[in-house]
Chains A and B, each alone.
Chain A
Amino acid sequence: MSDLLHLVTIQVNGRPYSRGVKANSTLQNFLRIDCGLTGTKKGCELGVCGACTVLLDGEAVNSCMVLAVEVDGSEVLTIEGLRAPDGGLHPLQKAFVKHGAIQCGYCTPGVIVAAYKLIGENPDPTREEIQEALGGNLCRCTGYTKIIEAVQHWRDYEDVPLDTAGINPPDQDRPDLTIVGKDRTRYDAPSKAAGRAVYTADILLPGMVFGKILVSPIAHGIIKSIDISKAEALPGVLCVLTGETVTDTKFGVSPARYDEHVLAKDRVRYVGDEVAAVCAEDEETAERALGLIDVEYEALPAVFDPLEAYEEGAPLIHPEEERFARNVNTRVDWNFGEVDAGFASAALVKEMTFQGQRTYQAPIEPHCSLARVEHHGEKVTLWSSTQVPHYLHHMLSRTLDIPQGRIRVVKPAVGGGFGGKAETTKLDLLSILFAQKIGRPVQMKYSRREMFYHHRGRHAQHMWMKLGMAKDGKITAVQSRIFLDGGAYTSFGVVTAYYAGSMLPTLYHFPAYKYEGFRMYTNLPACGAFRGHGVPQPRFAFESLLDECAEELGLDPVDVRMVNAMDPNTRTINDLDILSCEFKATLEQAREKSGWDEKRKPGALPKGPRIARGIGVGSGGFVSGAGYPIYRSDFPHSNAVIRVHEDGTAVTLFIAAADIGQGCDTILPQIAAEELGIGYEDVWMAPCDSTLSPIDLGAYSSRVTLMGGNAVRSAAADIKARLAVFVGRQLGCDPHSLTFRGRKIFAGPDENTVASMDWTEAASKWFGANGPLVGTGCYQPPPGLGGKYKGGPIGTSPAYSFGTTVAEVEVDLETGKVKVVDVVDFHDSGTVINPTAFHGQVEGAVVMSMGETLMEKVIHQPDGSIRNPNLHEYLIPTIGDAPKIFSAAVESYEPRGPFGAKEIGEGATLPVLGAIANAIKDATGVRVTELPITPEKVLAGIKKLKTPPVV
């Protein structure tokens, strides 16, 4: 019976599709596989994320929750079916493009389909109506702000051709620039709006087979035996791998601590540790085969708490290496200045303990890898949802012992990463191993549940902090001791432990600072990098403690930040060199815009009955790219090639910087076009493919705008230098006097009075005379960054961002529920290359950080398994939870950045946690020191107050 096919006919986008389907096939699979309509995405497969939304007989449904056989005879509209009468994008899709409502684009088809249903019934919906209609569509990038705007403005785009002009005016005045700093729509937005963008899981190759991984059900133990015979005997199974049949080479992220195997060799260290893998003709068979593998374990005692893991006699998680005694994976011990003297001189010394949680990046696109052997079998291509194509390439080569030149790494569209796709996964390694053994393309992907186990999310940090403050609010000394729960393996953890300490002194002048960090192994999933890497929790703690001190000394929180604020051209106490710094401007402007002084006056905001309002401030800042690479190397961090098309009407930019939704495929062409003097529309982005583009270290540590941007700019300058010699001769002028602007090349700076030549003419003539016109460029951070002490390189960067967030909250005094109502954010990101992209990063960061502040926490069961490995129990904010956000850039220019630019993506997360926590304190008088600040904790705090608010 089970192979019985049911003939169904479903009208999809007006066209009948008649197919034989198995009873267990979902409408989602029918659309993606049987109809080839991959615009309908797979995000959670359990009806929560909404990425698979389609209209079924006119109603929005999750296609993952519908059996295909159930909808025989129905009509379905998918994203591919949406279009304007002229066949182009529907005005709603255009609005999404123009308003910047699309970043990674993975949630986009579902959001647009749900919004299309709404506007069909209600063409002018209110903010609240949009929030109601899109409540079932999770987005992790945009903070929902621009989605709401786009839906409200869709009618502006009826009968309007789509162009690349953005709609957000710049905050900064840069008359010298024509494309950089001016708003342009995203390079990839139209294809994402149409559902045409191809993500790794959308690539369906002929003969493709599927791999799945068997994981340990116990948190700690020895593998006594593995019997794969029954799995191998299952029809449809092609290959089974275990620790015995894969390489012994260990891998990881930090070279000093490669501690992972492709599959567990003898010991499992967490529930989820990968033990065996199966490749089969289809996913169902692969999954069934996993159940036929018999593994015998000898259970060992496990430890789940980082403080307990440090105790004498605690179970050792890596007993094979003496350096990991007491489960300490990384130990940091920093002493800068005279801490004791600093505390002694303070008017107030305050100590507090804070607790952060394991949180999870939750990109809407699950990880996916696809491997195919090439040519005679000596080469292999890997398509992967990665944010670091080069580190992946390096690690594949090293672990699998294949030269990099024999591996081609391709990064298709990626549906968000946030650090969760910043390392080599078992999917990457195993899909290649299977492809080599079987000779067929192998697709492997994580389910949402598996993502939680392998997510490498935020370390939970247990933080003790001590702050000394003088009467005037000046910081006299800071001390912190942090235990990081690192889980079973190192991952990025070495860096995390250092970042947890290194980033505090970039914002405020610390006369003395002591930091002790303990990154602990525990029998839980390994933690890694997550937006703001290691810093959001200590920043939350510090900003909370700063407010507590200010309050005790009767000082205004903004004033306290002002008197300590970092200045430009300063070397911090931990030897980080700060050049541009407009932190004070962010404080001043946030203060003014938010109405801070008025709203902080007693009685200005209601403190009951039932609802209390409060306002709070927090600040933060981050690196614009790490000063040193993850593994030791001496090559430039970013490298770019620009090839001018032979007729001169376009250029192609080859750079393997990874656009994962943050927008570098838009920023980098803007930089290229500005430098070359051509149009943004004249630039093609080459696919991110290691056979095409040179090495770029990828999208992590907020590095791409500054480093990739500098490489692109220098490649463009290289083209100009070549053209200049030729054009100077033609125009009879000094090549150095030429101006490239507006697709023309002028003989001098004053465009109105001098001779000129068309860019296209110059380029095509150059080609005729010399052959291909190619420019190259690269970027290497300044040498010698950082102090000479241990760990000194971590936290170094060519440039630092600064920002201030003011949050206004409403607290239900009876339930403790917090609603973030308004957020004002000012950032110093140097020159803003693209205003919409800038605001989009801030808005996304605000909502993501609000999630970490108020609701997000991975919860473990006593056996080490995860209690909430799904998106209905691990809560991330929905559109109805999103506050109104005002974001703006202050005037700033970073001498080391391209056209003066710095980062925004991660820095924008950092001020938010403290701002919200401080606003809750202002509203209720309750200081919650443990994240997330749930309604339950707020209410418990209210009940403990000496003078409870009026309910």
Chain B
Amino acid sequence: MEIADFTYHRPASLAQACEMLSQLGDGAHVLAGGTEALVDLKQHTFDTRHLVSLRDLEELRAIAVDERGLHVGSMVTHGGLVRSETIRKTYSALSEAAATLAAVQVRNRGTIGGNFCSAVPSADLPPICIAGSASVRLVGANGERTIPADDFLVGPRRTLRERDEVLAEIVIPPTTWAPGTGASYHKFGLRSASALAVAGAAAWVRLEKGEVRECRIVLGAVHPTPLPATVASAKMIGKAPSADLSRAVGKWAAEECSPIDDLRGSADYRRELVKVLAARALDDACGRAAEGRHE
């Protein structure tokens, strides 16, 4: 359980962080909240010779809304997501998803940026963000780029982040919480806290005149990356929300996923869970959209 020696760096600016990462090369890792990084360090998962801490980068801790949407800095903790009035008033399902994560102590250190960059298939935040059309802004030594959150995650523990890049923020467009929309995340864990998702389902819908006009269902823990259930989502379009519809669409979602067997559950069981979780998430999302509220 002892952490091997490494050199600790604490850049004072994002630019400096990128510069350091660029220069230090392969043995360098980013330290955000540390709830994943310290587990990896203690278990010697990676060869870590340098740790570049984002601690002093206050700019990464901001939560703000502008015309481009809701900006959530990558160093915002899960606890910060849960407590943020700004998020509760905009894309509250993100707070809801953050509240399902681990336990208080972990939520107070773990960050949204870490939840994305560690790219664990069961991560709770990416599905709800992707359902909400989130993009991620990456800042590197040679400039920055913004890409869809969905594209960012490419496999278990693999992302599009280049070595010199830092994930700066998650951006959710204002259309995601416009009137007539609603979202929800349902997770199934094997105990009430400190449990990874056996499966998770995020749903976002937009209703118009009592009919679903847009729908995005994104599944967690049933694919190497969060999985947009596009076929299932399309089945919602043009229909009036109902429990029966949600249940039928949940079955479609289960058809689309490609879960694995692991110690938390078999592939078959995960498909059963997806049916249920997707249906429940859709019910809640549609209910909220109809009532015109996001909490």
| A4/B191 in contact, CB under 8 A | no
Nearest CB in chain B: distance from A58 CB, A: 10
| A135/B109 in contact, CB under 8 A | no
| A62/B5 in contact, CB under 8 A | no
Interface: B190 (CB within 8 A): yes
Given that A26-B38, A46-B39, A47-B38 are known contacts, is A135 also in contact with B193, CB under 8 Å in the complex? yes
Chain B residues near A53 (CB, 8 Å)?
105
Nearest CB in chain A: distance from B102 CB, A: 7
Complex: chain A residue closest to B192, CB-CB: A880
| A61/B263 in contact, CB under 8 A | no
Interface-located stretch among A269-277, A801-809, A867-875: A867-875
Chain A residues near B1 (CB, 8 Å)?
45-46, 447-449
Interface-located stretch among B67-75, B145-153, B266-274: B266-274
Chain A residues near B7 (CB, 8 Å)?
1-2, 4, 23
Interface: A646 (CB within 8 A): no
Interface: A259 (CB within 8 A): no
C-beta contact mask, B25-39 vs A, less than 8 Å → 1, else 0? Answer: 000000100110011
- What's the interface size class on A, roughly? 35 or more
Interface: A284 (CB within 8 A): yes
Complex: chain B residue closest to A284, CB-CB: B2
| B195/A23 in contact, CB under 8 A | no
| B102/A936 in contact, CB under 8 A | no
| B191/A881 in contact, CB under 8 A | yes
Interface: A50 (CB within 8 A): yes
Given that A53-B105, A939-B269 are known contacts, is A67 also in contact with B34, CB under 8 Å in the complex? yes
Interface residues in B5-27 (C-beta closer than 8 Å to A): 5-8
Interface: B175 (CB within 8 A): no
| B55/A70 in contact, CB under 8 A | yes
Q: How far is the CA of A868 from the CA of B53 in the complex (A)?
A: 30
Nearest CB in chain A: distance from B90 CB, A: 23
Given that A23-B8, A114-B105 are known contacts, is A936 also in contact with B38, CB under 8 Å in the complex? no
Given that A62-B109, A872-B196 are known contacts, is A23 also in contact with B38, CB under 8 Å in the complex? no
Q: How far is the CA of A48 from the CA of B3 in the complex (A)?
A: 17
Chain A residues near B2 (CB, 8 Å)?
24, 283-284, 287
Q: How far is the CA of A69 from the CA of B56 in the complex (A)?
A: 12
Chain B residues near A138 (CB, 8 Å)?
194
Chain B residues near A4 (CB, 8 Å)?
7
Chain B residues near A881 (CB, 8 Å)?
191-192
| A24/B53 in contact, CB under 8 A | no
Q: How far is the CA of A47 from the CA of B3 in the complex (A)?
A: 14
Interface: A22 (CB within 8 A): yes
| A47/B105 in contact, CB under 8 A | yes
| A69/B8 in contact, CB under 8 A | yes
Interface: B57 (CB within 8 A): no
Interface: A815 (CB within 8 A): yes
Chain A residues near B35 (CB, 8 Å)?
47, 65
Complex: chain B residue closest to A880, CB-CB: B192
Complex: chain B residue closest to A114, CB-CB: B104
Complex: chain A residue closest to B280, CB-CB: A814
Given that A22-B5, A59-B79, A868-B263 are known contacts, is A65 also in contact with B31, CB under 8 Å in the complex? no
Q: How far is the CA of A384 from the CA of B59 in the complex (A)?
A: 50
Interface: A924 (CB within 8 A): no
Interface residues in B255-295 (C-beta closer than 8 Å to A): 263, 265-266, 269, 272-273, 276
| B102/A136 in contact, CB under 8 A | yes
Complex: chain A residue closest to B39, CB-CB: A46
Nearest CB in chain B: distance from A57 CB, A: 10
Cross-chain contact of B103 among A1, A23, A45, A136 (Cβ < 8 A): A136
Interface: A6 (CB within 8 A): yes
| A815/B188 in contact, CB under 8 A | yes
Q: How far is the CA of A353 from the CA of B266 in the complex (A)?
A: 23
Interface: B51 (CB within 8 A): yes
Measured CB to CB, the residues of A under 8 A from B are 1-4, 6, 22-24, 26, 45-48, 50, 53, 56, 59-62, 64-67, 69-70, 114, 131-138, 283-284, 287-288, 447-449, 814-815, 817, 855, 859, 867-868, 871-873, 875, 877-881, 934-936, 939-940
Taking A67-B38, A133-B104, A136-B105 as known contacts, 10 extra A-B pairs with beta carbons closer than 8 A to each other, sorted by chain A number, are A24-B4, A26-B38, A65-B39, A67-B8, A67-B34, A136-B103, A875-B191, A878-B193, A936-B269, A940-B269
Query: What are some 10 contacts across the A-B interface (CB < 8 A)?
Result: A46-B1, A47-B106, A70-B34, A136-B194, A284-B5, A449-B1, A867-B263, A875-B195, A878-B192, A879-B192
By Cβ-Cβ distance, the 6 closest A-B pairs, closest first, are A136-B103, A135-B193, A880-B192, A2-B5, A23-B8, A24-B3
